[in-house]
């Protein structure tokens, strides 16, 4: 909750299942480490929540360099899910994270459905975890590397199998690299997901014309940052109209007004990603700016902005010709 | 890694297309160790998006200097800064050079191009520790040479317009003979190919060597995993340039 100048407050807290969030801004997976790295630059207790870097069963080295390149208004990354693995996370990071008053969402990545289950099972034994976000933008080794997140049946299966193993809130993080994200949001909701996170990075590419070589070692990578915000807004709009569960909006948010736009498009809350690289305290700042915006607009309860887009004059391209 | 708002004190041209930016940074300056860097937001806009990393060139009690050349849009914007403009800095970042090392009493600083940037601060701290310092500086030509605030300098230019005709690693091979009998450690900074050649030369000569590396960075603070440096140790394939470096023992790197 944020104090208004008049002494009353803008209601910004919310909950999803058993998880309570102080405000509507979380930091996105892969853009804030494991939550313990930036504590001298930002008070993470002021965040709505922290989503950890994706964790797999075994530590992953990640891809060879170069892994990142800046593009106009954004960046491409091909980190390759470099992470310390769930065992080290539990041993080295959880003791600290349990001492901080912040809602902790642990993000899981895997290359088989069984691995998703096994990682979640290990985390189930840990106190201080408020929920899971499942990164399904991962190659399925059993299906020749086909991305789980671009296949509706796989999305359903992962959600079903994980739902059966946990009562903690389960967010399925969707990829925008599909034709109809609404189908994937429905698949997750139908199998009992508590929320969908929209969206992961867009596939993109950068080329050095002089050397005729791709800049990233993996040729293509994931685009993030302000450049993707319009796409993310449209994906949130599409997904939120297809399901009743909350949608967490992600993509290119750098300030409070960006975040409010996501609420209007249908998001219950947002995550701030790439902006953390410019300003490690970006998440806290965005939350504060959302509260100021509400104050200025005389909105006393932020939830009234969710899906409050006034689209009367517009005909959505979701239903019509471009 | 606190954030600082630093007013620009001055921008000076010190060689062709090479500038020194002096920033008022009383909180930051005393904390910086040789080889560390700062990550600078070059403007308030979202283009360019990411911060730009720069070694700290020199410090006074309340200011830091960075040395840079214009290679793209971020450095072009820095070169337009005027006294009073305020820059947002994150730092000091990274692991400094290991100066407290009993294996040496003579430091050989080897700099290629803009790799000269961290050397003045390194020199001050080495001399302060009672170490002897000799400095080899390589540049394309005489106009691109930067030798300010260095100690016992020998220059090399690719075109022979000043000093030794050839690159700084060839100069190192020549100079190494004169250091026979002394306990030497090399501190090197410059482009990747030059560091690689320096590391191989040091290994051949049996001289300990630390390098300060550069390459693309996303965050500069260890949270994006965007800056891997490949290690020789197979059990630990990559280190992070921003957090485990930018200085490394040359022997640890898979060149
Ligand atoms: C730890 C560290 C310390 C550094 N210290 C200094 C310093 O003291 N002085 C200095 O002038 N430069 C230094 N650099 C390099 C400096 O960060 C880049 O030159 C700068 O980011 C380029 O920004 P730009 O927007 O001008 O170029 P861009 O428009 O981003 O790129 C222009 C060209 O420069 C190349 N480039 C971009 N970033 C880097 C990079 N980090 N390393 C090498 N090439 C790059 C690009 O591939 C491209 O070809 C350092 C880099 C690191 C990682
Ligand atoms: C460097 C980097 C690493 C990322 N790593 C992960 C990850 O491990 N797991 C995940 O689910 N998303 C990951 N993402 C995606 C972000 O969480 C987010 O969905 C995306 O970047 C869009 O938001 P943004 O534009 O605010 O960054 C990563 C993004 C970046 C830029
Ligand atoms: S630049 Fe982000 S981890 Fe090194």
* CATH code of the domain in which A111 resides: 3.20.20.70
Residue B68 CA to ligand 1 centre (angstroms): 9
Dihedral angle, C-alpha A16, A18, A24, A29, nearest 10 °: -90
Encode B61-75: b = buried (16+ Cβ within 10 Å), e = exposed. Answer: eebbbbbbbeeeebb
Task: State the pLDDT at residue A7.
Answer: 44
B53-98 pLDDT, tens digit each: 999 999 999 999 999 999 999 999 999 999 999 999 999 999 999 9
Give the DSSP H/E element, type plus range, for residue B141. Answer: none
In this predicted structure, the answer to whether residue B118 has a pLDDT above a threshold of 60 is: yes
Q: Of the residues B71, B77, B93, which should be mutated to test ligand 1's pocket, given the most ligand atoms within 8 Å of the CB?
A: B71
Note whether residue A283 is domain-resident: yes
| Reduced 3-state DSSP string for B187-208 | EEECCHHHHHHHHHHHHHHCCC
Q: Do A77 and B3 touch (CB under 8 A)?
A: no
Note whether residue A216 is domain-resident: no
Note whether residue A157 is domain-resident: yes
Q: Do A33 and B216 touch (CB under 8 A)?
A: no
A201-259 pLDDT, tens digit each: 999 999 999 999 999 999 999 999 999 999 999 999 999 999 999 999 999 999 999 99
Give the DSSP H/E element, type plus range, for residue A58. Answer: none
Encode A26-45: b = buried (16+ Cβ within 10 Å), e = exposed. Answer: bbbbbbbbbbbbbeebbebe
Note whether residue A232 is domain-resident: yes
Ligand 1 pocket residue status of B216, Cβ below 6 Å? yes
Note whether residue A9 is domain-resident: yes
How many of the other CB atoms lie within 10 Å of CB of A217? 14
Q: What is the DSSP string of B194-253?
A: HHHHHHHHHHHHT--EEEE-----SSSSSSS---EEEBS-TTS-EEETTTT-BEEEGGGB
Give the DSSP H/E element, type plus range, for residue B76. Answer: helix B73-78
**A74-77 and A139-140 beta bridge pairing:** unpaired
Task: State the pLDDT at residue A321.
Answer: 61
Q: How far is it, in rounded angstroms, from Cα A146 to Cα A133?
A: 20
Residue in B with minimal Cα distance to A281:
B3
Ligand 3 pocket residue status of B219, Cβ below 6 Å? yes
Residue A132 CA to ligand 3 centre (angstroms): 25
Number of H helices, E strands in chain A: 9, 20
Task: State the pLDDT at residue A10.
Answer: 87
Ligand 2 pocket residue status of A252, Cβ below 6 Å? yes
Q: How far is it, in rounded angstroms, from Cα B212 to Cα B246?
A: 5
Ligand 1 pocket residue status of B37, Cβ below 6 Å? yes
Q: Do B227 and A40 touch (CB under 8 A)?
A: no
| Reduced 3-state DSSP string for B88-135 | EEEEEECECCCCCCCCCCEEEEEEEHHHHCCHHHHHHHHHHCCCEEEE
Q: Quote ipTM for the complex.
A: 0.93
Residue B222 CA to ligand 3 centre (angstroms): 4
Q: Which residues are registered as beta bridge partners of B5?
A: B88
Shortest Cα distance, chain B CAs vs residue A32, angstroms: 5
Q: How far is it, in rounded angstroms, from Cα B240 to Cα B59?
A: 26
Q: Do B218 and A225 touch (CB under 8 A)?
A: no
Task: State the pLDDT at residue B234.
Answer: 78
Say yes or no: A231 contacts chain B, CB-CB below 8 A: no
Note whether residue A101 is domain-resident: yes
Note whether residue A69 is domain-resident: no
Which residue, A293, A306, A274, A272, is CA-closest to A44?
A: A272
Total residues found in chain A within this entry = 322
B207-255 pLDDT, tens digit each: 999 999 999 999 999 999 999 999 998 778 999 999 999 999 999 999 9
H helices of chain A, where?
Answer: 85-88, 94-97, 113-124, 152-163, 181-190, 229-242, 256-265, 275-278, 282-296
Report the predicted TM-score, pTM, of the whole model to 2 decimal places: 0.94
Total domains present in chain A: 1
- Measured between CB atoms, which of A41, A75, A276 is closest to B49? A75
Maximum distance among all Cα pairs of chain B, rounded to whole angstroms: 55
Q: How far is it, in rounded angstroms, from Cα B241 to Cα B198?
A: 18
Task: State the pLDDT at residue A311.
Answer: 78
Q: How confident is the model at residue B177 (pLDDT cuts 50, 70, 90)?
A: confident
Q: Of the residues B32, B39, B72, B222, which should be mutated to test ligand 1's pocket, given the most ligand atoms within 8 Å of the CB?
A: B72
The position carrying tokens 């394309």 is B140
Ligand 2 pocket residue status of A56, Cβ below 6 Å? no
Q: What is the DSSP string of A270-321?
A: EEE-THHHH-TTHHHHHHHHHHHHHHHTT-SBGGGGTT----TT---TTTS-
- Measured between CB atoms, which of B49, B221, B228 is closest to A65? B228
Residue in A with minimal Cα distance to B39:
A278
Atom of ligand 3 nearest to the CA of B217: 1
In this predicted structure, the answer to whether residue B5 has a pLDDT above a threshold of 60 is: yes
Q: Which residues of B touch A (CB under 8 A)?
A: 1-3, 41, 46-51, 90, 215-219, 221-230, 237-238
pLDDT < 70 positions in chain A: 1-8, 313-322
Shortest Cα distance, chain B CAs vs residue A51, angstroms: 13
What's the mean pLDDT in B165-173?
A: 94
Give the DSSP H/E element, type plus range, for residue A131. Answer: strand A131-135
Q: How far is it, in rounded angstroms, from Cα B120 to Cα B59?
A: 9
Which residue, B241, B221, B222, is CA-closest to B231?
A: B241
Q: Which SS3 state, helix, strand or coil, does residue A205 take?
A: strand
Q: How far is it, in rounded angstroms, from Cα B92 to Cα B55?
A: 9
DSSP annotation of A98 = T
Q: Reading across the β-sheet that carries B184-189, which strands appear in turn?
A: B164-165, B153-157, B132-139, B106-112, B184-189, B209-212, B247-249
Q: Are B241 and B39 in contact (CB under 8 A)?
A: no
Q: Do B226 and A64 touch (CB under 8 A)?
A: no
Task: State the pLDDT at residue A6.
Answer: 44
Note whether residue A140 is domain-resident: yes
Q: Which domain holds residue A273?
A: 2-62+81-204+223-321
């Amino acid at each position: 909750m944020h104090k208004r100048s008049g002494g009353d407050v803008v209601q910004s807290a919310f909950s999803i299942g058993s998880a309570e969030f102080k405000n509507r801004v979380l930091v996105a997976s892969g853009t804030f480490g494991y939550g313990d790295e930036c504590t001298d630059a930002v008070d993470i207790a002021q965040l709505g929540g922290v989503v950890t870097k994706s964790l797999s069963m075994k530590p992953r080295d990640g891809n060879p360099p170069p892994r990142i390149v800046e593009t106009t208004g954004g960046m491409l990354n091909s980190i390759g899910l470099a992470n310390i693995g769930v065992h080290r996370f539990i041993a080295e990071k959880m003791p600290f994270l349990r001492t901080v008053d912040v809602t902790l969402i642990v993000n899981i990545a895997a290359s088989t459905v069984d691995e998703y289950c096994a990682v979640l099972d290990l985390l189930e034994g840990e106190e201080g975890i408020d929920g899971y976000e499942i990164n399904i933008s991962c190659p399925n080794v059993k299906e020749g590397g086909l991305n789980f997140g671009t296949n509706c049946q796989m999305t359903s299966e992962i959600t079903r199998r994980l739902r059966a193993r946990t009562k903690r809130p389960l967010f399925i993080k969707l990829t925008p690299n599909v034709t109809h994200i609404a189908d994937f949001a429905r698949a997750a909701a139908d199998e009992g997901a508590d929320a969908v996170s929209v969206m992961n990075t867009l596939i993109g590419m950068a080329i050095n014309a002089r050397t005729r070589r791709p800049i990233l070692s993996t040729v293509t990578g994931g685009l993030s940052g302000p450049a993707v915000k319009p796409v993310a807004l449209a994906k949130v709009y599409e997904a939120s109209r297809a399901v009743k569960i909350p949608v967490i909006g992600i993509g290119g948010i750098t300030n409070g007004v960006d975040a409010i736009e996501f609420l209007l498009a249908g998001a219950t809350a947002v995550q701030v990603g790439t902006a953390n690289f410019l300003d490690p305290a970006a998440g806290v700042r965005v939350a504060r700016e959302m509260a100021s915006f509400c104050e200025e607009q005389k909105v006393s309860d932020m939830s009234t902005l969710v899906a409050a887009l006034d689209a009367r004059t517009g005909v959505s391209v979701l239903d019509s010709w471009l | 890694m606190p954030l600082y708002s630093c007013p620009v004190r001055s921008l000076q041209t010190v060689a062709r297309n090479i500038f020194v930016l002096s920033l008022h940074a009383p909180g930051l300056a005393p904390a910086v160790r040789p080889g560390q860097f700062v990550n600078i937001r070059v403007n308030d806009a979202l283009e360019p998006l990411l911060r730009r990393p720069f070694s700290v060139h020199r410090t006074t009690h309340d200011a830091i200097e960075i040395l840079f050349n214009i290679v793209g849009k971020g450095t072009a914007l820095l070169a337009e800064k005027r006294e009073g403009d305020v820059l947002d800095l994150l730092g000091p970042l990274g692991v400094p050079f290991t100066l407290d090392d009993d294996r040496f009493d003579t430091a050989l600083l080897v700099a290629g191009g803009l790799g000269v940037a961290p050397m003045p601060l390194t020199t001050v701290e080495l001399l302060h520790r009672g170490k002897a310092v000799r400095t080899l500086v390589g540049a394309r030509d005489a106009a691109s040479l930067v030798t300010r605030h260095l100690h016992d300098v020998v220059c090399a230019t690719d075109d022979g317009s000043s000093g030794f005709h050839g690159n700084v690693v060839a100069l190192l091979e020549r100079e190494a003979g004169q250091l026979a009998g002394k306990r030497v450690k090399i501190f090197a900074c410059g482009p990747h190919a030059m560091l690689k050649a320096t590391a191989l030369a040091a290994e051949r000569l049996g001289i300990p060597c630390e390098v300060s590396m550069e390459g693309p960075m996303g965050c500069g603070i260890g949270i994006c995993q965007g800056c891997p440096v490949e290690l020789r140790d197979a059990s630990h394939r990559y280190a992070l340039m921003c957090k485990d470096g930018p200085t490394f023992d040359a022997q640890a790197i898979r060149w």
